[in-house]
Amino acid sequence: MHTTITKRLKGAIMENIFDSSDIVNVRYYNAKNVSDNDYDPEKVYTFEIKIRHNEDEEPKQLLEQAIKNLTP
């Protein structure tokens, strides 16, 4: 299954989850209302995140766990 979630995150955290998380399978993400030229990984953006998951899994919880594992 695929679920799309909207979440405010620091760009670097989103990139790290996309590149290397074993907890959640992010298929696609896009920072809303920002052009590629203005994107800064150190800033917080509202992301549209498409997550692939099993039917019995809660995608929001998977994403939150991945974020928790990356931040102290």
Domain limits for position 23: 2-70
Residues 46-63 have pLDDT tens digits of: 999 999 999 999 999 999
- Condensed to tens digits (0 to 9), the pLDDT of residues 16-25 reads 999 999 999 9
Global confidence as pTM: 0.89
Q: What burial class does residue 3 get, using C-beta atoms within 10 Å of its C-beta: 0-12 exposed, 13-18 middle, 19+ buried?
A: middle
17, HSE (Cβ side, Cα atoms, 13 Å): 29
Number of domains in the chain: 1
Paired tokens of 28: 């696609």
